[in-house]
Each structure stands twice: as structure tokens, then as C-alpha cells.
Structure 1
């Protein structure tokens, strides 16, 4: 009796079914196992250590703001000179940490991409799938492009997302403490005076909620627009490769005009897809620029009443402003990465679609002769 088994390179669904980008993780997580596990986990540990050091340096820089601007308010020249030296050391440390982070991050990205591309190439060549895909899964365009390009776009941002997300979580925790302790309480002139403890924390949360909510609403269509663009680009490349491969047959059959009209139509589809992305990006740019402009001003306006009535020093106000900006960077991680998340989701779907096509090729290829295309 023959028992059907599922091999490691088979997908659970056919390419025509709904594909979740989360299906990318079961395919790609093998990099953290087997022969590449030591390298993968070592690079991750190094990146985590650098993120912790980076957050510590940023906290020290916000404290420097308090010390420097208090010295400026007191006109303490000696303390100002000392503060300039401290800032130089902090800046050098931050630059070194950033350089090491980029180096380790790229090492991880390249190693992970190489491992996954090698795995997909082996799947593609196994069981003559490269010859069968065009018949059993014609909707899967340009498998070579998906392996070479979509894998890169699906892998590299994930590393950056992970580093950025961990940095944002640690930063949010550290700078919320600063906002709560340094900002203190404020009394609102309502109902005879209402005291709000840690008011700058609530200002930061409210501001981040509004900005991230707007980007989520206006930016969601960008995911589908990028998917359409990627599909149009791949179809054009596939058609152009077909012209090169069938050059002799096309010349004999005098099909140049027909192929030219097809390529022109595909190019127009690419241009139309890019026009749609440009319109969506223009809307998002309005929000992004408004956010960049308002972010450093909001904490100064919120703290101005306390500074004017001498309840807060200039140094404390500038420290809060610096901590507020860092908190927004942490809270707005989704805001700042929405476009790249959309691009990643589109490419991840294409990679998973290719893996699903391999399984479909195996299911339907049994009725073909081993030498059939």
C-alpha cells in the first residue's frame, strides 16, 4: 500500500488559493536551524546587544540636553565647554554603534537571502518543476525573478523590521520613564483644576495614535498597488525573455508586430501601476512631512505653561523635547515603515505563491511523462 507523504518543499495550498504573507515564515525559518543555526543566532545576539547599547546612548544624550541647557540658562561657561566634550564622546559612540549595526545587519540579510534562494532553486530544479510550471501554474509568472528579486525584498526588510521593532520597544520603555518623571504633572483649568500626572506621556501616546491611525487608513491601498506593480513588472520581463528565446521562430513566422503590440501593452500596464503608486505615495508624503515638522514642536508647546510659570527649567523642557521625539520614533515604528511593510507583504506573497506552485506541479505532474515539459 502506498502512503502519500508531503515533502519539505511542498506547500499546503495551490497557487490560486488565498495566500497569507505569514506563510513566508515557515518557509524561511529553517535558516535558524541545522548547519546555519550558529551563524544565524550569533548575528542575532550581536544585533540585540548593539540595540541595547544604542538605547543607552540615546538616554544619555537626553540627559545631556538637561545638563547643557540648564548650564546655558545659568550662563555657566565652564559647564558648557564640558558639555561640548561629553556630546562629542556620545556622538562618536553612537556613530560606532550605528556602523557595527549596519555591518551585522547586512551580514544577516545576505546569509539568510542566500540560504533561502538556494533552497528555492533546488525546489525549482527538482522533479523538472522548471519545465512544468508554465503548464500547471501559468499564473505564476517569472519564477526566476521571484527567486532572485522577490526573495531579496522579502528577506532584507524583515531583518530591519526586527532590529527597528526591538529598538522601538526598548526606547519606548526608557523614554516613557523620562517623560513621566521629568515632565511631572500639569493642572488643567477645568472643573476647578484637574491634575494630570505624567501628562507628557499621554501627549506622546495621543500624538502617536493620531499619526499612526492616519497612515494606516490612507496607506492600506498601497499594499495592493505594489502587488499589481510587481506582477506587471514580472509579466513584462517574462514576455521579453520569451521574445529572446523564440527569436528564430518569431523571425520565420513574421510575428514581430504581434509580439511588439504585446510588449507595448505590458509596458503600459507597468506605467499605469507606477502612476497608482505615485498617487498613493504623494498622499503619504503629506502626512510624513507634517509629522516631521510638528514632532519637535509639540512637546515645547505642551511644556511652555510650566516653563513660563517657573515650574520647569529650560534644561528639563529640552530633555523632555528630546525624549518626546525619541518616544515618537518608537511609537511611530509602524508609521515610518508602512511603505516598506507593504512592499515586503507583496513580495512575500509572490515567494509563497511560487512554493505553492511547486506543490501544484507535483500534484498535477503525475499524469505527465517524465520527459514531458
Structure 2
């Protein structure tokens, strides 16, 4: 897909929504200020001619008036320029807020973030956190800067081409024994000059887009690895070999950043050589071309300076592509990454699970994302008050079966029915930031009073945490793996589901403690239907009312 098509797709969600009306007014206001700045620049160009003419004639009164006028126009210029920048920042944050919420909604809706990670383990679409946090910000920043900059440059270009045509006069020269007259010669010269330079700039800088894309990817990979190292600090510090391996991996990732940086800076250096040369040449070309006319007395010093300034303004604005080539290449890389993310999270997934009165599976078939058949011919049912134990070798697909019942694993066929009030506890319970009370109430934000929370902590043998119930801590790091699993069981006691799925929910506890906790569950809610996976044989023997054995080719 062409880059402009990708940009259009990324622009549509915000600019075609009902929330964009105020932002559209902001954009129109910014365009009005750009027009005013162009008009001020035209006045300054005329002022420049009048000033040098007055200086040539040593006209003190006119010089005094010109200086006073300049001060007044300068004040207007500053006010317009500063407020234009302020409005751009206001438009930027409004757009970023809306677009971030839009992509967060897509990311979190219907478990899309989970499917995204399932389907992109190959890292072709990497670092979704950076796509939302960084790429959206950079896309909006660059789009506004480049679009508004282009509009201003184009307005200046059109305006000063007319000025340059008028001040160029007629260039007369003899060639091939014939007299030639070219009206508006400077306009033709500046177009030829910039066209040649643009082709050369593109040839020099065409690798920058790819290098910018690689730069963003390598920086994100390095940041993700650092976060992973911090998250698993306790595991790494206990094993010197793992510690050294992680250090080598981080060094290798940063080496990729360094290598990419060197290639990018070399390309940018070569492009900058040409940009600086282009800028310096454009400052003297009009003088060389107009010197014969000036010597012939057909133009005064003010006209000469006016023509020089007009030529430079036309050249600079016509050379917008040359001077913004690096920014355009970076913007194209950002668009590529954000568009990839947009397509990936917009993908719809089939939910094979229906809502019913109990858990039923008939002729169930479960596949992997690559369409490999994991399990087939699954037939089971679970009634209220029954505990069903799922057996099978490690890796057979027991956890995937529970995910399919919950409706979060889309790669399944057959009849899967689950009750509406069902809850699942996994091996690793999610611990959010906040107080311990918030951790216990998660995901519900209901008003469960502290007395109930305290009573529940006592039941799951976490009484030592009661003094910190309303304290903010990094509970994800403070709690041990066993304590996190006790938190998971505590949530079940608080939530009181009618149906429960347990996936190795007590694997980090000794069998006696695990049996005590799950017996508490069974006694507290005798009508609750429970389907559980566990490698703790004592639990299966004492709590299961029946069992179901999974085999690869059943």
C-alpha cells in the first residue's frame, strides 16, 4: 500500500469523528495565522527594498519612519508567531488524547491485546507499548509540523514567485549570433536550480527511511529487554550464568542501536553536506545574475536586495523537500509502524463459546494460531456443585482448553457452552498497582468494606498483610508467588462466582496449604461448579468428583 493511503487511513478516525469540530476550527485559525505571516513577509520584503534605497540616498527622515514601522510590524509578527505555536500545541494534545484513547479501546476491546501477542510472537510487529505511547505522539507531531510547514512554504512560494517575476526584469544576452530576451529569468533559474538539487538530495538520502524504521525498532527492543531484566531481577541474581547471559543480550541489543546509529548519521551527514551547499549557493546566485542589470543602471540597490531576498525565499520554500527530506523519511517510518499496528488490532476474531446454563463441550476441536490441531473430539459437561479434574500430560493443552471455555481462545471448532457467571483463576494472578484493598477487589471496583477484606485475608492465611490493607505499595514485587496465589483464592471468596475454572491456581503452595484453601472454597460455596487443572495429586484425589483425561488423538 502506498504511503499516502496509509496516512489517510490513520487520519480518518479522528478527522471524520464528531469530536473534530473544535480541532478543525483550531486548524483553520492556524491557517489564517500562516496567511498573515506570509503577508508580513511580503511587507518586510518591500521594507527591505525601501530601506536600502533610503540608505543609498541617505534619507534620514524616511529611514526613521521605516525603523518605527519595522518595530510595529515586528511586534505583530511575534504575537502571531507565538500564538500560532500555542494553537498547534493545543491541537496536538487534543488529537493525541483522542487517538490514544481510540487505540487503547481497540487494543483492550474483545481481548485484542491478547490475540495480538498470540499472533505476533515472531516479532514482525514488535513492541505494541511503543506503538501506543510513542508512535502516536510522533505521528501527530511530525504530521502537523510537516503539513503546516508545507502549507506555509507553498503560500510563500506562490506569493514570492510573483514578486520575483516582477523584479527580475528582462535578461538580454547573445547566443549563437542571436539576441535573446528572457522575462522573469530569475524564476526560471530558481526552478531549474531547485529541481536539480531535489533529485540529488533524494539520491543521497533515500536510505534514511529504512534506517529510521530500524532505529525505532532497535530502541524499542532494547527498552523492552531492560524492563524484562528488571521484572526478573530476582531470578537473574540467583544464577550468575543467567545474569551474564542477560548482560550479553543487552550489550548485543545496544550494539544494534549503535550500528544503526552510525549508518544513519553517515547518511544524514552526506545529505547535510548537500543541504548546506544548496543553501549557500542560493544566497549568491541572484547577485551574479543581476549584477549586469545593476551595472547597466536598470536596477537600484534596493531593487537588487529585494530581488535577492525574493530569490532566496522562493528557493528555500521551493526546496522544502530538500531541507525536510530527513524529517519526511522519519515520518514515513513512523507511518509504516503505526499502520502495521492499526491493521493488526483491527483484525476480528471469532469467539467459539456460547452462553448457556452450564459448561458443555460437544465434538470440541482446539487449534493453535498456525492452524495445527492441538485437541479434538472433546466431550464433557459440568453441573452445579461438581468438581471436575482435567488430566493430561504437560503441554497437551489443558490451559488452552480452559481459555477456550472462557471464550478468549478463538482457534476452536465444535460446541462450547459456558455459564454467564463464570470466573477463572490462573497460575499467576494479576496484581495491579494501588492499595492491597484495590488488589483484593480487582477487577471489581465495588464497595466491599474493609471488615470483609480483613476477614478474607485471615481465611487465606494472609493476616500479616492486614496492617498494610490501605497502603500503596508495589505489591507485584512485594508479594511472593505463593501469596499471589492466595490473593487469587481470596478474590474467588469475595466474588462468589457460580462457576469456577482453576488453572494450577495453587501450584506455588505446598499440597497441604493448597488442599486447605481449596477445601475452604468447596465448603463455602457447595453449589459452585469447578473445573480444575492441577499437578498436585492429593488435591485431585480428595476434591474431584470426577475427572476427564485429555489425549492428543482422542
Q: TM-score, normalised by structure 2?
A: 0.61
Q: CA offset at residue 70 of structure 1?
A: 1.3
Matched, 1:300 2:283: no
2:164–2:307 contact (8 Å) kept in structure 1: yes
1:19–1:353 contact (8 Å) kept in structure 2: no
Matched, 1:62 2:45: yes
2:172–2:180 contact (8 Å) kept in structure 1: yes
In structure 2, the partner of 1:245 is 231
1:73–1:314 contact (8 Å) kept in structure 2: yes
In structure 2, the partner of 1:90 is 73
Cα deviation per residue 1:292-341 (whole Å; 9 max; x = unaligned)? Answer: 32222111111111001101111111111111111122201111211111
2:209–2:329 contact (8 Å) kept in structure 1: yes
Q: Give distance in 2, aligned partners of 1:315 and 1:114.
A: 50
Higher normalized strand content (fraction of residues)? 2
Query: Given the superposition, is the C-alpha separation of residues 20 and 182 from structure 1 closer, same or farther in structure 2, using an over 3 Å criterion?
Result: closer
In structure 2, the partner of 1:103 is 86
Higher normalized helix content (fraction of residues)? 1
Matched, 1:209 2:192: no
Q: Give the greater-gyration-radius structure (CA).
A: 2
Matched, 1:222 2:205: no
Q: Give distance in 2, aligned partners of 1:92 and 1:77.
A: 23
Matched, 1:313 2:296: no
Runs of 5+ unmatched residues, structure 2:
353-366, 368-402, 410-425, 427-554
Q: Give distance in 2, aligned partners of 1:186 and 1:60.
A: 26
Query: Given the superposition, is the C-alpha separation of residues 365 and 245 from structure 1 closer, same or farther in structure 2, using an over 3 Å criterion?
Result: farther
Cα deviation per residue 1:214-263 (whole Å; 9 max; x = unaligned)? Answer: 21111111001111111111111122222223334445666222222221
Matched, 1:347 2:337: no
Q: How does 1:24-173 map to 2 (within 5 A)?
A: 24-138=7-121, 139=123, 140-173=125-158
In structure 2, the partner of 1:23 is 6
Q: Give distance in 1, aligned partners of 2:28 and 2:192.
A: 34
Q: TM-score, normalised by structure 1?
A: 0.89
Cα deviation per residue 1:49-74 (whole Å; 9 max; x = unaligned)? Answer: 00110110001111111111111222
State the secondary structure of the residue aligned to 2:11. helix
Q: Give distance in 2, aligned partners of 1:115 and 1:359.
A: 17
Deviates more, 1:265-274 or 1:362-371: 362-371
Matched, 1:335 2:322: yes
Q: Give distance in 2, aligned partners of 1:260 and 1:279.
A: 29
